[in-house]
Structure 1
Amino acid sequence: MTDLESLDSYLSSDDSPDDCMMLSDLDGFLHGVACSPVQIHADEWLPIALGGSPDDLPDWVLQSISLIYGSIIQGLTFDPPEVEPIFWQAQEGHVIAMDWCEGFMQAVSLRPKQWLRLTESGTGGQLITPMMVHLLDDNGNSVMGIPQEQLDQALEQAAEMIPESVVAIYRFW
């Protein structure tokens, strides 16, 4: 069992590499790697996730990340599949999925040409939409052109759709 609180504390601490992902974007990134149309070896994605060489990290951190990745793969193969994204929770109670989605899309960017089969397909292209809804530009505007007054509701609805979208993307390949 992975101690997510300890991993989160480590990733947020001064002990971790400056460019390492935080827990939510790491989880999204690992889901994106797991859903990739082609296998991406850990030797490639681990330094991106960690912001440096895995050799510089404590063994328990690497083991925790491996356990999370393994549980994601396992959850996707269950019948029915189980996908439990690690989203942040705002003090007001609403879910914040933006970091998770940015991590997922960073994994997509590792193999953009291979993802085109999904994104340009008539039926599969919409599967990535819940993640895309959460991408904002530097001014806080939707990259999908969602009007600011509709953005909060769109983000909430999209976050609810992410688990089933991840399953559908995994099955698409």
Structure 2
Amino acid sequence: MTRRARIPALALDDLEAWLADQPDIARRNWTVFAIDGFCAALVVSPERIATDAWLRVIFGPSLPTAPMGLAAVQAVLDHRQAVHRALHIDQGRRWSPLYMLIDDGTVLAQPWAAGFMFAVKRWPVAWRPMFERNDHVGLMLPIIACSEAEEVEKLIANRPKEVRDHIGRAYHHIPEAVCAIRDYWRHHAAAR
């Protein structure tokens, strides 16, 4: 039996360009930043999601077969593995989300948070216990605040500046929130 050669993966910048050139994928707002959030949710998820199932969420029902498409799939697989290593093996000590950075230095965490929340919404039954326990749903607040940024901004528009500034810095709390969510599900699984 011959071993299949590993397909070289695209670099993340090249993956971003490839995703933008795929009309169906771009229309569904899949960027490297959203994929990073999605991968983080998969890694800390309460249940293991089959690789084919989550790849099809990003790439559609038919995975790419052209060489560049295969390299894009490999890049996503490699990235998910890197997020897994950082959050589980390294315990999240050096892990940080990939946020979009605008030319003026503004950080946009919304694409990352939207990718994370897409996984939560895609597999709601698995995530339900966290939302049903009022004492733990707060772990998700920094991610929710960033994923629903426009709605949150409307809600706090008339609030004092320090409240608006605090919510505007919610993305700073995402790394610790993700690690706390990971720990919550570990404890939840051990208790079962």
CA distance in 1, matches of 2:11, 2:164: 31
For 1:17-96, what aligned pairs fall within 5 Å after superposition?
17-19=25-27, 21-56=30-65, 58-81=69-92, 82-96=94-108
Match of 1:10 in 2: 18
Provide structure 1 residue ranges, at least 5 long, that are not aligned to the other structure. none
CA contact (8 A) 1:27 1:100 kept: yes
| Number of aligned residue pairs | 171
Specify the code of the residue in structure 2 equivalent to 1:11.
Answer: L
1:5 is paired with a residue of what secondary structure? Answer: helix
CA distance in 1, matches of 2:143, 2:158: 17
Distance 1:108 1:90, change over 3 A: same
CA contact (8 A) 2:34 2:115 kept: yes
Distance 1:29 1:153, change over 3 A: same
Distance 1:143 1:39, change over 3 A: farther
CA distance in 2, matches of 1:141, 1:148: 13
CA distance in 2, matches of 1:144, 1:126: 20
Provide structure 2 residue ranges, at least 5 long, that are not aligned to the other structure. 1-8, 186-192
CA distance in 1, matches of 2:61, 2:25: 7
Specify the code of the residue in structure 2 equivalent to 1:90.
Answer: I
Specify the code of the residue in structure 2 equivalent to 1:76.
Answer: L
Match of 1:102 in 2: 114
CA distance in 1, matches of 2:183, 2:96: 16
Taking structure 2 as the reference length, what is the TM-score of the superposition? 0.77
Q: Deviations over 1:110-132 (max 9, x none)?
A: 22122121123243211110111
Alpha-carbon RMSD: 2.6
Specify the code of the residue in structure 1 equivalent to 2:70.
Answer: D
CA distance in 2, matches of 1:18, 1:2: 17
CA contact (8 A) 2:157 2:164 kept: no
CA contact (8 A) 2:143 2:174 kept: yes
The Cα shift of 1:68 comes to 0.3
CA distance in 2, matches of 1:89, 1:148: 27
CA contact (8 A) 1:19 1:52 kept: no
CA contact (8 A) 1:34 1:72 kept: yes
The Cα shift of 1:55 comes to 3.3
Taking structure 1 as the reference length, what is the TM-score of the superposition? 0.85
For 1:150-161, what aligned pairs fall within 5 Å after superposition?
153-161=165-173
Percent of aligned pairs sharing the same letter: 24
The Cα shift of 1:155 comes to 4.5
Specify the code of the residue in structure 1 equivalent to 2:16.
Answer: D
> Which of 114, 130, 136 is residue 124 of structure 1 equivalent to?
136
